[in-house]
Every structure is written in structure tokens, then in C-alpha cells.
Amino acid sequence: MRSRLSPLRIVYGDHRANWRIGLVSAFLTVICLIWIYPFVWMISTSLKSNAEMFSNPGLIPQSWATENYARAWTEAHMGSYFFNTLIVTVGSVVIVTTCTSMLGYVLGRYRFPGRNILFFSFVATVFIPQGFTIIPVFELLSRLGLSSNLFGLTIATSGHAMVIFVVLFAGYFAQLPRELEEAARVDGVSFLKIFWYVMLPLARPMVVTVVIMQVLHAWNDFLLPLVVTLANPAIRTLSVGIYAFKGEQFIDWTGMAAAATISIVPIVVLFMLLQRYFINGLAGAVKG
Amino acid sequence: MFETLHRYRYHYLMLLPGLILGGMFVFYPIFAACYYAMHDWSGFNSDKVFVGMGNFVKLFTDPIFWDAFQRALIFLLGTVPLQMTISLVLAVLLNNQLLKMSTYFRTMIFLPVVTPVAVIGIIWTFLLSPFNGPVNGLLLDLGLISRPVDFLGSTDTVMPSVIGVYVWKWLGITMIYWLAALQTVPDDVYDSAKLDRCRGAKLVWYIVLPIVLPFAVAITLISAVGALNVFPLIMSMTNGGPFFASEVMEIFIYRTAFATGDGSIPRLGYAAAAGVFFGFVVLSLTIGQAIATRRARAGAKEIRS
């Protein structure tokens, strides 16, 4: 709105600006249509029969072959992979949010013996690549007897991503005002209750950010589930499942397009609904 | 000692769950990886033999490893500048408050970011396929090529193709970072620039960019670290092929440790050594960035004041 009130605009009007905005909009529209073409192509292919795929290069399917979805869901096991992914995602979100909010709260707001060394350890490991730790992680899971079940996959998925969230939570809790907490303490509210009833609700924007980033991470994760499911294909996640599908049925393009659509629909719907939180959450990560 | 523990008992209690998790999957693996890297170890059920720095010595003389390392760097240098500049241009355009559809554009550009990498890899294998793939179809129709190009199947085109897909996949997130940075530019900066008749490219180049520079360093780092962790995309597109032409660090580690393929024994200690070396490269990048950010921030403060 600022620019509408600028003195130059009041004197000269804004015809020139309108013309330029139109040009920029047209340019961006073209870019964006090209940008999302792969998705349109994928959905369109998932609705064609395998024969039509080769004869009809257009985007509008003629046969509306929904049996591709049935084939992907049952024969390619996308159905069970879908639920595996859901379990891992929900489980790791609960674990990660609980653990990192408490860690971040204590590290961000209190000074106690061992605090600095702990905080520094977390900051220092933020960028450790998965390739560094994958071998010991797999060995640890094997030794605990968790190397080929969903529970093991869930806690390992939680463990890898948590560091950055601890740092984000610590930063957020550190800048909240002291007064509320002190008022509660004077009233005799216990330490744990202050966290649960006073501080955690105040940190809701950061909780939302962490939940969203962890959902993205768990739904997308590849190296860890690939390694963990090598011995037990039944617990594959969607990402690994579709990778295996490609290896086994390379010619079934339409089935794979259907499988791909199945695995992106939930996350895309979630993104559309919570878009504001996604964008603000990610922006918050770079501003901090 | 006991008194301190008692006094801060709730603090330590709340740390406990997170510390167990972090201990198991972050801190223990770091030390364990360094320990394994000093052993000759062929398979999870076999014994480890201590070889000291032997694995590292072998690693540094292994041409396959250096090729993978070099490719990781090529990938880094190929993606980051492209990603940074294209996303900055888009962010500057979208940041215009008169642009009514900017939210829709943003959503569309962000869409690949929320799509699982493995799915992206599969879709692009189809799109780039030399057999009936739409990209080849378009290029043939336009008369730009006379016969289909096997983008992912030839050693010359595989890296540029993977780089292109990677930039497409992650551009949205870099753009969000840039938009966040642009939002910190105070309104009066624009107003006074306007009074001085400074607008368009000049405004961006001389006034806006210097202010967002400290963010640029952080964004570059995040993008650079992301570009080194490209395992899922390359794995799902090419498996590191053809003839290792797209094998980067993490694929080298994975192949050496878990999927030897040709039936040879897995070399876990050797793979761990590669992982440790890779980790230290990333760590030094991070430290370099921390220093650069501090300098850039100090610089930006001078401009602003």
C-alpha cells in the first residue's frame, strides 16, 4: 500500500506501474505453468491406460483408467506403505515435538551446570550429514533388535532431525518475557506445570513450525528408511516403496504415476491447508 | 554435586528424554563412526580389526572416492549459484506489493519442495526418458534435436540433468528465505529511494542487496549443505549411474557399506571413513559460514546507519 501513497504516484498517477505489473504477472504465469507441468503430466498419465500412454501425448486422458490406482494400491503395496509412512510420520512428530520442546525450554531459559556444553553440542551437530552417522545408527538398531520394525524406524527418524529443532526452540523460549513464569511460580505452580500450561502454549508458533518441518522430513526421508527396510520390505515407506516399484516394474509407467500421485496427495493437501504456517515457519528458521 | 543435582532436578528431568534420543542417534553415532573408521570391518556380523589411519590412507589414494568427492563439488558449484540467483530474481518480483497473484505464484513454485524426493526422481526419469518422454517429445517437435537424447543414460548429460532437477525441486525454499530477508528491509528505505528517483534494477542492486547480504551468507550455507546431501534424488533417478557418472559422496558411502551389488564384501570401516571425511568437509563449510556471517552482519550495520 505504501507505494500507492508515494508523492510521485500522486502527481503522475500509476498507469506505468499497472502496465509493468501486468507484464510481470504474465511472465510469472508462464513460468509457473511450466513449473508445475511435471505434476499435471503425472496426474494425467496416472489416468491413462498403458496403451493410451504411448498413443496420446496430450494431457487430457481419454480412458480415465482408475484401475491404475487399484493396481498401485494393492499389487505395488502402496496401501500398506502409505500406512507405514503415516505411522512413522505421526510417531516421529509426537516424539520430536515432546523431546525438543522440553530440551529447548530448559536450554533456552535456564542456566545450570552443564548447560553451555550441552547447548554447544547441539549447535555444533546441526549440519552433520546422514552419511556420517548411518552406519552406527543401523548397527545400534540391529543390536537393540529394532533394525527391521516400524518402531525402530520411527525413533531413528525422530533422532536424526531433532538437533535443529532444539536450537530453534531454545531461541524461541529465550526471548519470551519472564513475568508470566514468575507470577505462576509465586502462586506455587510446579516447574513442570509452568512448562505445560504457561510456556508451551506461548510457544505455539514454534510448535507449529517444528511439527510441519518434521512432517516434511519424515514423509521425505529416504536414506534411513532405505537402509532399515533392506531386510524387511513389509515396512517400507512410500518413498522407498516407489523407488522399489521403479526397480521391479520399470515399464508400468501409468501404475507408477498413480503410485506417485498417491504418495504426494496427503502432503500437498496438508501444505495447501497450512500454507501460511509452512512459509512463516521456514522463514522463521532463517531469520533466527 | 548431589546438591546441584537435587536443586536442578526438574531441569535435568526435562532434558532426559531428548538427551536419550539425541545420545542414541546423534552423539553416539558421531563417535562410533570415527571409531569404525579406524577398523577393517566387513559386514555387521564380522569382527573389526584395528587399522588406525589405514582406511583414510586408502581413501585418499582411491580414484573412485576422489571422483565421487569431485562430483559432489561439481554438483555443489553447479546448483548453488543457479538456485541463489533464480530464486532471488523471483523473490524480488514476488515481493512487489502490487502483484495481486503473488501468493498463487509462490504456492506453485513451492510445490516441488513438499513433494517427496523419491517421487520427484521417478517423475523426472519419465519426463526425461528417451522413449516417449515429453521433454524429448517437445525438443523433437521444436526441431532442436534430430533424435531423442538419453538425458540420464549418457555420461555427458547426466550431471546437468540431475542439477537441473535439483534446482527445480529446491528453488521454492530458497525463494522463501529470500522473501523473508527482503521483508526485513524497512519501508522508509524504499520511500527515500523513490524520492531520489532510484528504482528498478538500480534500487535492488545498490540499496536492497547490501541490506540482505547477511542473509545471503546464511542462505548460501543452507543451500550448500543441502546440495551435498543429494543422495535421495540421484539414487531415485540414476542409482549413481551410468558407469558411476553421477555417483556422489553419499552414494559412494551407501554402495560401499550396504549395496555392494556385484557380490563383493561390504566394507563398513572404509565407508565410515568416507562418511567421517565428508562430515568434516561439511563442518568446515559451516564454520567458514559462521565467520562470514559475522563479518557481513557488521558490514550491513554500517550501511543501515
Residue B110 lies in a domain: yes
Residues A141 and A277 in one domain: yes
CATH number at residue B55: 1.10.3720.10
Mutate to test the interface with B, among A132, A243, A282 (most CBs of B within 10 A): A132
Q: Residues B92-128, buried b or exposed e (16+ Cβ, 10 A)?
A: bbbbeeeeeebeebbbbbbbbbbbbbbbbbbbbbbbb
Residue A150 domain boundaries: 70-287
The x, y and z cell numbers of residue A147, run together, are 533394525
Please indicate whether, in this complex, the C-beta atoms of A238 and B116 are within 8 angstroms of each other: yes
**Residue-level pLDDT at A14:** 55
The answer, for A35 touching chain B at a CB cutoff of 8 Å, is yes
Give A 79-118 residues with CB within 8 A of chain B: 95, 98-100, 102-103, 105-107, 110, 112-113, 118
Classify B38 as helix, strand or coil: coil
**B254 Cα to chain A: minimum distance (Å):** 8
Residue B1 lies in a domain: no
**Residue-level pLDDT at B260:** 60
Burial (0-12, 13-18, 19+ Cβ within 10 Å), A93: buried
Quickly state the pLDDT bin for A83 (edges 50, 70, 90).
very high
Residue B269 lies in a domain: yes
Number of independent structural domains in chain A: 2
- pLDDT tens digits for range B95-112: 877 777 888 898 899 899
**Residue-level pLDDT at A1:** 41
Read off φ and ψ for residue B41, nearest 5 degrees.
Answer: -150, 115
Residues A237 and A115 in one domain: yes
- pLDDT tens digits for range A31-43: 999 999 999 999 9
pLDDT over 70, % of chain B: 94
Burial (0-12, 13-18, 19+ Cβ within 10 Å), A201: exposed
C-alpha closest to that of A223 among A160, A150, A139: A160
Helices (H), A110-149: 115-124, 130-143
| Dihedral sign of CA atoms B163, B164, B170, B175 in order | positive
Give A 264-283 residues with CB within 8 A of chain B: 264, 267-268, 270-272, 275, 278-279, 282-283
Please report the number of interchain residue pairs, chain A to chain B, with beta-carbon separation below 8 angstroms. Answer: 298
**Residue-level pLDDT at A88:** 94
CB-based contact A258:A53 (threshold 8 Å) = no
Residues A272 and A182 in one domain: yes
Please indicate whether, in this complex, the C-beta atoms of A112 and B132 are within 8 angstroms of each other: no
Please state, in angstroms and rounded to a whole number, the distance separating the CA atoms of residues A261 and A270.
Answer: 14
Residues A146 and A243 in one domain: yes
Please indicate whether, in this complex, the C-beta atoms of B15 and A57 are within 8 angstroms of each other: no
Q: Element (H or E) spanning B71, and its range?
A: helix B63-94
Please indicate whether, in this complex, the C-beta atoms of B190 and A3 are within 8 angstroms of each other: yes
Please state, in angstroms and rounded to a whole number, the distance separating the CA atoms of residues B50 and B31.
Answer: 16
**Residue-level pLDDT at B261:** 61
Q: Residues A124-140, buried b or exposed e (16+ Cβ, 10 A)?
A: ebebbbbbbbbbbbbbb
- pLDDT tens digits for range A149-204: 899 999 999 988 788 889 889 888 888 888 888 888 888 888 888 888 888 998 88
**Residue-level pLDDT at A191:** 84
Please state, in angstroms and rounded to a whole number, the distance separating the CA atoms of residues B151 and B126.
Answer: 11
Residues A161 and A27 in one domain: no
CB-based contact A42:A68 (threshold 8 Å) = no
Please indicate whether, in this complex, the C-beta atoms of B177 and A222 are within 8 angstroms of each other: no
- pLDDT tens digits for range A40-65: 999 988 888 877 777 777 778 777 77
The x, y and z cell numbers of residue A95, run together, are 516424539
Instruction: Please report residues of B whose CB lies closer than 8 A to that of A243.
Output: 118, 121-122, 235-236
Q: Element (H or E) spanning B50, and its range?
A: strand B48-50
Residue B225 domain boundaries: 49-304
Provide the mean pLDDT of chain B. Answer: 84
Nearest to B17 among A98, A216, A284 (CB): A98
**A46 Cα to chain B: minimum distance (Å):** 11
Q: Which residue of B has its CA nearest to A214?
A: B114
Instruction: Please report residues of B whose CB lies closer than 8 A to that of A133.
Output: 25-26, 29-30, 33, 275
Please indicate whether, in this complex, the C-beta atoms of B32 and A142 are within 8 angstroms of each other: no
Please state, in angstroms and rounded to a whole number, the distance separating the CA atoms of residues B165 and B112.
Answer: 10
Residue B189 lies in a domain: yes
Please indicate whether, in this complex, the C-beta atoms of A239 and B109 are within 8 angstroms of each other: no
Instruction: Please report residues of B whose CB lies closer than 8 A to that of A286.
Output: 177, 180-181, 215, 218-219, 222
Q: Which of A28, A44, A69 is where one domain is finished? A: A69
Side chain identity at residue A143, one-letter code: R
Residue B278 lies in a domain: yes
The x, y and z cell numbers of residue A28, run together, are 510469472
Residues A26 and A103 in one domain: no
CA separation (Å) from A168 to A123, A172, A203, B25, B122?
Answer: 10, 6, 11, 19, 33
Residues A15 and A95 in one domain: no
Q: Which of A32, A48, A69 is where one domain is finished? A: A69
Mutate to test the interface with B, among A94, A98, A127, A195 (most CBs of B within 10 A): A127
CB-based contact A137:A224 (threshold 8 Å) = yes
- pLDDT tens digits for range B37-89: 888 887 767 777 788 788 888 888 889 899 998 898 899 899 999 999 999 99
Largest CA distance in chain B: 81
Number of independent structural domains in chain B: 1
Residue B3 lies in a domain: no
**Residue-level pLDDT at B158:** 92
Residues A47 and A169 in one domain: no
CA angle (B220 as vertex; B218, B221 as ends), nearest 5 = 65
**A120 Cα to chain B: minimum distance (Å):** 12
Instruction: Please report residues of A whose CB lies closer than 8 A to that of B272.
Output: 135-136
Q: Which of A54, A69, A84 is where one domain is finished? A: A69
Please indicate whether, in this complex, the C-beta atoms of A159 and B21 are within 8 angstroms of each other: yes
The x, y and z cell numbers of residue B263, run together, are 557380490
Please state, as a whole number, how many other Cβ atoms lie within 10 Å of the Cβ of residue A31.
Answer: 15
Residues A29 and A144 in one domain: no
pLDDT at B160 over 90: yes
- Give this complex's ipTM: 0.82
**Residue-level pLDDT at B301:** 61
| Dihedral sign of CA atoms B48, B49, B51, B54 in order | negative
Provide the mean pLDDT of chain A. Answer: 84
Please indicate whether, in this complex, the C-beta atoms of B126 and A45 are within 8 angstroms of each other: yes
Residues A190 and A231 in one domain: yes
Q: Which residue has the higher pLDDT, B97 or A237?
A: A237
Residues A162 and A97 in one domain: yes
Please state the length of chain A: 288
